[in-house]
Homo-oligomer: A and B are copies of this chain.
C-alpha cells in the first residue's frame, strides 16, 4: 500500500492496546476515589475523538458526561464542573496550547485529570494526574488515541457496574491491530478510486451519526479542509433533512460514514435520498469490514476506529492524486496570526 509502513503501524496500535494493564490500574484508582461526572476536553481533532465516547457513555452509562471545546470551556464557567470531576484530554505532541491550558485550568480547580500523550515529559504529561503515553506518528494518532480511549472509557463504565462484557470486549480489542491492517487493505482500492474520481472536486458534504459523527466532523475539518484545503459541510444525519438537503443536486459529492449502531436507520434514510438525487455518492460503512474476532454486539462501538483507519487511506490517495501534501499549511506554523 502507498505510503503505509505496516511495521510502524502495528508498533503504534499494539503499543496502544499494550497499555491495557497500566490504563486499568490508573482508571481503577480513579474509580476508587469516586468522581461525579466526566469532562472530555479537546479542540479540533482531539475533541472530535471525544464525541463518540460521549455518545457511548450516554448510551451505556449513568455517569454524566460533557464533551466540551477546551477554550470555550475555560471561559464558560461550566456549573457541572468542579473538584469532583474527572477530566480526560489528549494531545499526541503533548504541547497543544489549548489542551495544556485546559489541563492546567482543571488541575488548579482540584479536578482529577487524565491525559493521553505521545511521550512522557511533555507539557500535558507533566500537568495531569494520570499521564498515559504511547508513541505514534501523526498519521496514526487517531488510531492510537481511540484504542486507549476504549480501555479508559469502558473500564470506567465497567467499574461503575454498567458493562459486564468488559473483559471480553477489551480482550478482543487487544487482537484488533492486525484486523485494522486488513481494514486498510480492504479499503485501499476504494480509497484510490475515490481520490481519482474526486481529485478536482471543490466541495464535499459529509454525513454521519451516532458513533460515526465524531469522525465525520473530524474528516471534514482536519483532513479535507486543513490538509487538502477543500471546503466541506459536515452534517449529522438527523439534521440533514432540516435544511442542508436543499443544496444537494446531482453534482453534489456526498460522503456517508456509516456505523452499525442504533442510529443506522438515520443514515439509511440519507443514503436512500442520496441514491435518488446525486450521482456522486461515496459510502464508507463499518459493515463492509470483516473484523475477525470481534463479536457482533461490539461492532457498533468501533466506528470511530474503523472509519479513521479506512479514511486514512483516502487521505493518502488524495494527497497523491491531487499533488497536495497532507503536511502543507497556508497558516498553521507558517504565518503569524
Determine if A182 is an interface residue (Cβ-Cβ < 8 Å): no
Q: Tell me the minimal C-beta distance from A319 to chain B in angstroms.
A: 14
* Chain B residues within an 8 Å CB radius of A248: 330-331
Number of interface residues of A (CB under 8 A): 63
* Chain B residues within an 8 Å CB radius of A246: 225-227, 229, 329-332
Determine if A5 is an interface residue (Cβ-Cβ < 8 Å): no
The 8 A CB mask of A61-83 against B (1 = contact, 0 = none) is 11010100111100111111000
B43 with A238: CB separation less than 8 A: yes
B329 with A263: CB separation less than 8 A: no
B79 with A60: CB separation less than 8 A: yes
Determine if A244 is an interface residue (Cβ-Cβ < 8 Å): yes
A43 with B242: CB separation less than 8 A: yes
Q: Tell me the minimal C-beta distance from A124 to chain B in angstroms.
A: 16
B238 with A222: CB separation less than 8 A: no
A210's partner among B60, B76, B238, B266 (CB-CB below 8 A) is B76
Determine if A138 is an interface residue (Cβ-Cβ < 8 Å): no
Answer whether A75 and B262 are a contact pair too, CB < 8 Å, given A44-B239, A221-B243. yes
Q: Which of A126-134, A145-153, A270-278, A291-299 contacts B (4 or more CB under 8 A)?
A: A270-278
Determine if A139 is an interface residue (Cβ-Cβ < 8 Å): no
A residues 187-235 with Cβ under 8 Å of B? 203, 209-210, 221-222, 225-227, 229-233, 235
Determine if A45 is an interface residue (Cβ-Cβ < 8 Å): yes
Measured between alpha carbons, how far is A227 from B244 in the docked complex, in Å? Answer: 10
List 12 A-B pairs, Cβ < 8 Å.
A43-B242, A58-B66, A58-B76, A64-B64, A71-B266, A75-B266, A203-B231, A226-B243, A229-B246, A230-B247, A245-B330, A245-B331
Q: Chain A interface (Cβ within 8 Å of chain B)? A: 43-45, 47, 55, 58-62, 64, 66, 69-72, 75-80, 98, 203, 209-210, 221-222, 225-227, 229-233, 235-239, 241-249, 262-263, 265-266, 272-273, 276-277, 329-332, 337
